[in-house]
Amino acid sequence: MRRSFHFLIKLSASLVSIACAGAARTEPLEQASPVQALPAGADTAGSASADALPPGFREAFAESDSRARTIAFWYPCVGTIARLRAGGTFGPAAAAPRIIYCERTADGVPIGGVYDIDPTFRTVRRFSTVRLDGARPRYTGPIDTTRVATEAKLVNDVTRAITPAWTKLGRPFSVVPVPLANGGLEAWAIPRATKARTLVTGGDVAYARNADGTARRTVDHTGTWTQLPLAAAGALVVRSAERDVAAVTDLVTARYHTDLGREVTVHTTTMSSALVAGLDPATGARVVWRHVAKPVAR
């Protein structure tokens, strides 16, 4: 099964405008889709130690971390496709399709491209994709465009639903669809920092797609939104407002900065979780989580 996702994006000279909160519109919003590493629910939280963990913690952490991997992985893909589009890979930039698409195929090939969609979010048009490995040859394999349209509609619906409130709060965001291992689909609104050299903890919201195509909110961390200074270098400590398992936003931050070469530890009320060198058998990644339960206060 292919794994992909999309989030709304204004294609402009700068990627700073990605999925920024703005006025709702009636036409389809421009989108981009980052690569998904694994479907949510896959166990990506292999521990580097045998510390005693609370019952159910490992499974719950794996669920959140898999979503975080999905969301964090979009950065290189979206940037690459945006540059390729601007450079004419998909035809003259002024006329090229405006929606960016990325996925990793079932056999692990990263691909990306562009497409358009009709106002009802039912018909994908002008789909053009390339492999993101090697010399960027055209990708000619099958892509389920019905699935692509479904993900695009959910992102659009969630963006319209939350834009008024988030705009009032002054919180820019990205909405990212996350396919689930059971065939379901979620869309996560991930807050973005409003200032340079800062990071946001908490504040994320998730919606699930119902069988009839409508969306229902399943996670709401808007009350925990916090923006903190971000040092330019050195070890990074992400302090989550959650009790046991960190918010998805917090794990996205950890994954992103680990990929940049920083040492990252995430703290919740009861747990300390660090990404350390090791082989994750589920993904082949070179880092795994080491969890340590904090002493209980007496």
Q: What is the pLDDT of residue 153?
A: 95
End-to-end, the C-alpha distance of the chain in Å comes to: 49
The helix/strand count (H/E) of the chain reads as 4, 16
Same domain, 262 and 158: no
Same domain, 257 and 111: no
Residue 106 covered by a domain: yes
Residue 226 covered by a domain: yes
Cα within 13 Å of Cα(238), Cβ side: 30
Please state the rounded mean pLDDT for residues 155-175.
96
Same domain, 209 and 117: yes
What are the respective helix, strand and coil percentages of the chain, to the nearest 5?
25, 30, 45
Residue 66 covered by a domain: no
Residue 29 covered by a domain: yes
Residue 63 covered by a domain: no
- Phi first, then psi: give them for residue 149, nearest 5 degrees: -65, -40
Q: What is the pLDDT of residue 109?
A: 84
| d(C-alpha 190, C-alpha 182), whole Å | 23
From 137, 11, 33, 180, select the one nearest 83 (Cα to Cα).
11
Percent of the chain predicted with pLDDT > 90 = 64
Same domain, 20 and 136: yes
Largest Cα–Cα distance in the chain?
A: 66
Q: Which stretch of 58-72, 86-100, 214-228, 283-297 has the lowest confidence by average pLDDT?
A: 283-297
Q: What is the pLDDT of residue 294?
A: 92
For the cut 80, the answer to whether the pLDDT of residue 106 exceeds it is: no
Percent of the chain predicted with pLDDT > 70 = 82
Same domain, 202 and 255: no
Same domain, 24 and 147: yes
Each residue's pLDDT tens digit, 273-287: 999 998 888 777 789
Q: What is the pLDDT of residue 181?
A: 81
Cβ distance 239 to 201 under 8 Å?
yes
| d(C-alpha 289, C-alpha 220), whole Å | 25
Please state the rounded mean pLDDT for residues 245-263.
95
Q: What is the pLDDT of residue 179?
A: 84
pLDDT tier at 297 (50, 70, 90 boundaries)?
Answer: low
Same domain, 17 and 160: yes
Domain end among 230, 255, 284: 230
Q: Which stretch of 121-130, 196-205, 279-288 has the lowest confidence by average pLDDT?
A: 279-288
* Containing structural domain, residue 287: 44-57+231-293
Most confident of 5-19, 74-88, 171-185, 200-214: 200-214
pLDDT tier at 80 (50, 70, 90 boundaries)?
Answer: very high
Q: What is the pLDDT of residue 298?
A: 58
Q: What is the pTM of this model?
A: 0.81
| d(C-alpha 158, C-alpha 160), whole Å | 5
Same domain, 83 and 176: yes
Domain end among 175, 201, 230: 230
Q: What is the pLDDT of residue 30?
A: 35
| d(C-alpha 189, C-alpha 30), whole Å | 16
Q: What is the pLDDT of residue 168?
A: 97
Same domain, 218 and 270: no
Number of domains composing the chain: 2
Cβ distance 123 to 54 under 8 Å?
no
Each residue's pLDDT tens digit, 201-228: 999 999 999 999 999 999 999 999 999 9
Each residue's pLDDT tens digit, 11-64: 333 333 333 333 333 333 333 333 334 444 444 455 444 457 889 999 999 999
